[in-house]
Chains A and B, each alone.
Chain A
Amino acid sequence: DAGITQSPRHKVTETGTPVTLRCHQTENHRYMYWYRQDPGHGLRLIHYSYGVKDTDKGEVSDGYSVSRSKTEDFLLTLESATSSQTSVYFCAISESGGSRYEQYFGPGTRLTVT
């Protein structure tokens, strides 16, 4: 895992509570991504960022928001967690230009919503 950390690594929370997951990189890469991984679905893109304060939606963005105030940090927030958001969440990073699609992944955060 090339200079990418995620916190927390495990979290159990109750339905209706807000949750924030953090991704931190030391590679100074421009792009950062949040994915969720569920059995039978592979990884699905939630949101991504192409620079500080620049973000865009992925294919499963409903119920999630993101923020990026510094190059190295990308936060994913579940405003009001639901059981359908129980999943493993992965952060990824990539450089700009021709390497933009070459993504490197963090270790993941396992989130359980009860």
Chain B
Amino acid sequence: AQSVTQPDIHITVSEGASLELRCNYSYGATPYLFWYVQSPGQGLQLLLKYFSGDTLVQGIKGFEAEFKRSQSSFNLRKPSVHWSDAAEYFCAVAVSKMRFGAGTRLTVKP
């Protein structure tokens, strides 16, 4: 069955530390891949996307993600987290329709 998994429901990191949020998918074909961020009470904002080509993609706000076909993964990274990065992050995968992971809530400690 097609699925998108974000294994971590909640992650806490210290400000200035590095961050990696995991996303795994199960699809027959290579899908289009996305990361969105949602601040409390807000809609979702597109951080970055992968359609094809270079497997390391850069996004807004200093985020990047790497597509690894062999691992069916699309993990989101940031080298140094800021307090304003505290939010919920959603991985999304599209073949014929978009499917979202359950989300990872990020808390940033001062």
On A, residues with C-beta under 8 Å from B are 1, 4, 33, 35, 40-45, 48, 58-59, 90, 92, 98, 101-108
Please determine whether B100 and A42 come into contact, CB atoms closer than 8 angstroms. yes
B102 within 8 A of A: yes
Bound-state Cα–Cα, A28 to B88, Å? 29
Interface CB pairs A-B, < 8 A, 14: A40-B102, A42-B4, A42-B101, A42-B102, A43-B44, A43-B90, A43-B92, A45-B98, A48-B97, A90-B43, A101-B98, A102-B34, A102-B46, A108-B42
In chain B, positions 8-51 with a C-beta closer than 8 Å to chain A are 32, 34, 36, 42-46, 49, 51
Please determine whether B46 and A101 come into contact, CB atoms closer than 8 angstroms. no
Please determine whether A41 and B98 come into contact, CB atoms closer than 8 angstroms. no
On B, residues with C-beta under 8 Å from A are 4, 32, 34, 36, 42-46, 49, 51, 90, 92, 94, 97-103
Please determine whether A43 and B43 come into contact, CB atoms closer than 8 angstroms. no
Bound-state Cα–Cα, A97 to B13, Å? 39
Question: Which 9 A/B pairs are nearest by Cβ-Cβ distance?
Answer: A42-B100, A101-B94, A105-B43, A105-B44, A43-B100, A42-B102, A101-B32, A107-B43, A42-B103
Q: Which residue of A lies closest to B49 (CB)?
A: A102
Bound-state Cα–Cα, A45 to B99, Å? 8
Please determine whether A106 and B43 come into contact, CB atoms closer than 8 angstroms. yes
**Nearest CB in chain A: distance from B94 CB, A:** 4
